[in-house]
Structure 1
């Protein structure tokens, strides 16, 4: 029961942190978290994940490279490696995504009519929300949907391990709209797909945006029980 209580607390505590302090995070700390994350399950034990970790000048190099490309491609590079959301995005998923955005903007104090404010906020993705460490997660292009599922379990395990260590995280698919630029900057092989980035650091607990809490669908919407 105590183990379940501890896990429940971690699941409740984990959020997408969008404001960080500049307190450093050591390489040893990141290694410890990744050592926990690599215990995540994967079909056939393929362990398909590939991780690139950046801090200091390496982190800034990625930020600078993407900012340079954004001048010409503000909405992302042509021909992305994968589509983040279906197009069109049907219900109920469209409403869930809309409500998520409105919750975050409201917490950050950005009005619906403040278009520039919203654009500036979104641009924070490409600064890792000021987190001192960034991770980029990819997998080989030969991998199939089953291995993408494995990647999700690896990422969730990492996020929970970081939460237990008192650190904030934000999984960021936003980086995937600049795959060629990011992969060149970090040295990820071309035969790998860049899935997402992860911002890692000490959360700014006083930042209004970190008070945002998104809702979750009820069991009646996501589960069917039979035979009980």
Structure 2
């Protein structure tokens, strides 16, 4: 059990009240000053550890995540900042600026099969509605070099040689299996909005990642499935 406390010190009438927040972990009454100091955790340190502890996980355990936990994470993440606060919807009859599709179990299996089939059998038929990166030959340095280096690092970690085309395709196909995660959250945005709102989506996704990390859950953010938006729409049409 935890609670928040605030401490405020004013040194002159012109000072602005600036609370210093600390996270206090409720525990039995400490018997010494040492135990008392251990019962208080600096909230900044907690936040720092959560942000530093977030990783892009590429292998998930098949453990069920309770629906209540997912709802908690999304509820917390909706407080992420956005331009003009346009994503906050108190009245559910109004159209939000984005939607979150939560997939698990049989529904997730249907989407995974459809995406992987499209990736393996007909990749040339699909294209994203926007470019996440420019073509590598047009990407300025040092960003192009960093992207190539990251690809080499991933290949080495997986034991896949650059010449192993089959191995590389299999690894790429893991994107469309959501790395075997038991839950996938697919976030969409109204196509009439612009880059500023895409930044807002980034804040929202980061908030989801941190909230999940705080609950002992790993995450990875993926852009790869945007290429197969029509496949996703078709696979989910009967229950959307």
Alignment of 1:29-40 (within 5 A): 29-40=69-80
Could you state the TM-score of these two structures normalised by the residue count of structure 1?
Answer: 0.76
1:73 corresponds to = 122
Match status 1:181 vs 2:221: no
Task: Please name the residue that 1:84 is paired with.
Answer: 132
Q: Determine if contact 2:82/2:200 at 8 Å carries over to the other structure.
A: yes
Shift, 1:101, TM fit: 1.7
Aligned residues of 2:116 and 2:173 also touching (Cα < 8 A):
no
Distance 1:62 1:151 in 2: 22
Q: Which has the larger radius of gyration?
A: 2
Q: Secondary structure at the match of 1:104?
A: helix
| Ranges of 4+ aligned residues in structure 1 off by more than 4 Å | none
1:59·1:133 contact (CA, 8 Å) conserved in 2?
A: yes
C-alpha distance in structure 1 between counterparts of 2:160 and 2:49, whole Å: 30
What is the 5 A alignment of 1:27-106? 27-47=67-87, 48-74=97-123, 77-78=126-127, 80-87=128-135, 88-106=138-156
Unaligned runs of 5+ in 2: 1-21, 23-41, 88-96
> RMSD of the TM alignment (CA)?
1.8
SS, match of residue 162 in structure 1: helix
Counterpart CA distance in 2 for 1:102 and 1:163 is: 27
Partner SS state of residue 29, structure 1: helix
Per the TM alignment, residue 108 of structure 1 is displaced from its structure 2 partner at its CA by: 2.0
SS at match of 1:15: coil
- How far the C-alpha of 1:75 sits from its partner, in A, is 5.2
List gaps (5 residues or longer) in structure 1.
189-228
1:145/1:158 CA distance change after superposition, 3 Å: same
Q: Partners in 1 of 2:158 and 2:119 — Cα distance?
A: 24
Go from structure 1 to structure 2 and tell me whether the alpha carbon gap of 1:75 and 1:27 turns closer, same or farther (over 3 Å shift).
farther
Show the counterpart of 2:4: none
